[in-house]
C-alpha cells in the first residue's frame, strides 16, 4: 500500500443523526492526524462536489450516519466523481440499510434473526390500526421491539411489553420513517461485533457488551457518557464469543460488505446469537462501540483508519 496524501472525512449530512455524524467525523479526523495523515473534514452540502473536483482526495472516509450516508447515495456520488472511499459499495449499502431486507439475506445463509413483521404506515392506517396491531401481538407474542425499517441510533425505536403500549410505539416509529419493523424481542445479552478487513479477509474484533442504565439502549444511552456500561470484551463464554464473531463475519460477507461493518446481536440464555441489524458506517464517537472494540483488540484506531484508507486507495488504483 502506498503513502496517503490528502484524505477527506465526510461528516454531518441532513439525517436525524447529523450531530452524531459530526462527532464521529471529528474523532476520525483527530486519530488520522495523530497517525500522520493530512485530513480535511467536510459536510455534504452544495460545495462538496466542486471541492472534490478541484482538489481530488486520495481517499474518503465516510462517517455519515443514516440517510444518504448508509443507503448508498453519497457513495454513488463518490463513484461518479471517481474518488475511492472506505466501506461498502452502493448496492451493498442499499441492502444492508433496509433492515427487513438485511434480515432476509442473513436468514437465507442460516443465521438466526428474530421473527418479525414489516408494516408501512399506509397499510397500518388503511387496514385499521387496532385490528392489525391485535393480529401482530397474536402472531409474534410479547414483548416486541419496534423500530424504523431504515435508520439508526435507536431513533423511533422502543420496546413493547404490553399490547396497550404498541400503538404509541408505532406512532413514535413512524415519526422517523414510513415503514416499521416489529420484531419478537429476544431477551438476553446485547452485544455489538465490529468486522474489519485490511486485505486478508474480514476479521471480527472482540464483542462489546452493552448494559444501559435504564434497560434500553436508546439514543440518550448511546451518546451520553455514563448512561450505559460497556464491557469490552463482552462477558460471554468462549463458545458464545466465537459464535458471535462467526455470525458477524457471515453477515458481513453475505451482505456483500467490505472494509468495515458492525453487527448488533442479542445472545440468548443458551449462548446463541441472534442478528438484529448491521451498520455500514459505524459510529466513531467517544461512546461508540467500534472504537471500544479496537481498543479491546489492542489496536490503534488511527492506524486502523489509515489502513482502511490505504486499502481503498489501492483498490481504486488497481481498477
Q: Which residue has the higher pLDDT, 127 or 136?
A: 136
Are the CB atoms for 160 and 169 separated by under 8 Å? yes
Q: Is the pLDDT of residue 195 over 80?
A: yes
Cell numbers standing for residue 173: 416509529
Pick the CATH number of 116-184 from 3.30.1490.190, 3.30.1490.20, 3.30.930.10, 3.40.640.10: 3.30.1490.20
Give residue 222's Cα distance to chain centre: 13
Q: Is the pLDDT of residue 88 over 70?
A: yes
Give me the chain's average pLDDT, please.
92
Q: Is the pLDDT of residue 207 over 80?
A: yes
pLDDT at 218: 65
Nearest to 57 by CA among 9, 112, 128: 9
Note if 17 is an active site residue: yes
How would you label 9-27 residue by residue, b for 16+ Cβ within 10 Å and e otherwise?
A: bbbbbebbbbebbbbbbbb
Instruction: Report the percentage of the chain scoring pLDDT > 70.
Output: 94
pLDDT at 196: 98
Catalytic residue among 29, 158, 194, 288: 288
Of 148-162, 169-183, 256-270, 297-311, the least confident: 148-162
Q: Which residue has the cell 466542486?
A: 50
DSSP structure class, residue 158:
E
- List pLDDT tens digits, range 73-82: 999 999 999 9
Q: What are phi and psi of 68, to 5 degrees?
A: -60, -20
Q: What confidence tier does 221 reach under pLDDT thresholds 50, 70, 90?
A: low
Nearest to 124 by CA among 181, 80, 84, 69: 181
The arithmetic mean of pLDDT across residues 224-249, rounded, is 93
Q: What are phi and psi of 211, to 5 degrees?
A: -130, 90
Residue 214 annotated in ligand binding: no
pLDDT at 223: 64
Q: What confidence tier does 256 reach under pLDDT thresholds 50, 70, 90?
A: very high
Catalytic residue among 17, 70, 183, 190: 17
Note if 318 is an active site residue: no
Nearest to 85 by CA among 156, 28, 146: 28
Of 92-101, 137-146, 225-234, the least confident: 225-234
Outline where the chain has alpha helix (H): 18-34, 48-54, 67-70, 73-80, 90-97, 99-108, 121-126, 129-140, 166-174, 219-223, 238-254, 289-296, 301-318
195 sits in which H/E element = strand 189-196
- List pLDDT tens digits, range 108-131: 999 999 999 999 998 877 776 778
Are the CB atoms for 193 and 251 separated by under 8 Å? no
The arithmetic mean of pLDDT across residues 63-87, rounded, is 92
Are the CB atoms for 92 and 74 separated by under 8 Å? no
Catalytic residue among 116, 153, 158, 194: 153
Q: In CATH terms, is domain 94-112+187-298 a member of 3.40.190.10?
A: no
Residue 277 annotated in ligand binding: yes
Q: Is the pLDDT of residue 151 over 90?
A: no
Note if 288 is an active site residue: yes
Q: Is the pLDDT of residue 255 over 80?
A: yes
Q: Is the pLDDT of residue 225 over 70?
A: no
The arithmetic mean of pLDDT across residues 203-219, rounded, is 85
Q: Say which CATH class 6-87+306-317 falls into.
A: alpha beta
pLDDT at 153: 63
> Where do the structural domains in the chain lie, given as residue ranges?
6-87+306-317, 94-112+187-298, 116-184
Dihedral angle sign, alpha carbons of residues 160, 163, 169, 174: positive
Q: Which residue has the higher pLDDT, 131 or 302?
A: 302
Alpha carbons 190 and 187: distance in angstroms, whole number: 9
Instruction: Report the percentage of the chain scoring pLDDT > 90.
Output: 80
Amino acid at each position: 500500500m502506498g503513502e496517503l496524501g490528502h484524505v477527506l472525512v465526510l461528516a454531518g449530512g441532513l439525517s436525524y443523526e447529523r450531530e452524531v455524524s459530526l462527532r464521529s467525523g471529528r474523532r476520525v479526523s483527530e486519530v488520522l492526524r495523530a497517525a500522520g495523515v493530512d485530513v480535511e473534514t467536510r459536510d455534504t452540502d452544495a460545495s462538496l462536489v466542486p471541492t472534490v473536483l478541484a482538489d481530488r482526495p486520495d481517499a474518503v472516509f465516510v462517517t455519515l450516519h443514516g440517510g444518504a450516508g448508509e443507503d448508498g447515495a453519497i457513495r454513488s456520488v463518490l463513484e461518479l466523481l471517481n474518488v475511492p472511499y472506505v466501506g461498502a459499495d452502493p448496492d451493498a449499502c442499499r441492502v444492508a440499510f433496509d433492515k427487513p431486507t438485511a434480515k432476509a439475506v442473513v436468514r437465507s445463509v442460516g443465521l438466526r434473526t428474530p421473527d418479525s413483521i414489516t408494516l408501512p404506515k399506509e397499510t397500518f392506517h388503511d387496514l385499521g390500526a387496532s385490528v392489525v396491531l391485535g393480529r401482530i401481538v397474536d402472531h409474534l407474542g410479547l414483548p416486541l421491539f419496534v423500530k424504523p425499517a431504515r435508520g439508526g441510533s435507536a431513533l423511533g425505536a422502543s420496546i413493547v411489553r404490553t399490547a396497550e403500549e404498541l400503538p404509541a410505539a408505532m406512532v413514535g416509529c413512524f415519526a422517523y420513517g414510513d415503514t416499521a419493523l416489529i420484531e419478537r424481542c429476544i431477551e438476553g445479552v446485547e452485544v455489538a461485533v465490529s468486522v474489519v478487513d485490511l486485505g486478508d479477509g474480514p476479521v471480527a474484533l472482540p464483542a462489546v457488551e452493552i448494559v444501559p442504565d435504564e434497560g434500553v439502549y436508546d439514543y440518550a444511552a448511546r451518546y451520553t457518557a455514563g448512561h450505559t456500561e460497556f464491557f469490552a470484551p463482552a462477558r460471554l463464554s468462549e463458545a458464545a464469543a466465537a459464535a458471535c464473531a462467526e455470525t458477524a463475519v457471515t453477515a458481513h460477507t453475505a451482505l456483500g460488505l467490505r472494509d468495515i461493518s458492525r453487527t448488533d446481536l442479542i445472545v440468548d440464555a443458551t449462548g446463541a446469537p441472534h442478528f438484529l441489524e448491521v451498520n455500514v458506517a459505524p459510529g466513531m464517537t467517544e461512546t461508540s462501540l467500534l472504537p471500544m472494540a479496537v481498543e479491546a483488540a489492542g489496536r490503534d484506531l488511527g492506524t486502523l483508519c489509515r489502513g482502511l484508507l490505504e486499502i481503498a486507495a489501492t483498490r481504486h488504483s488497481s481498477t
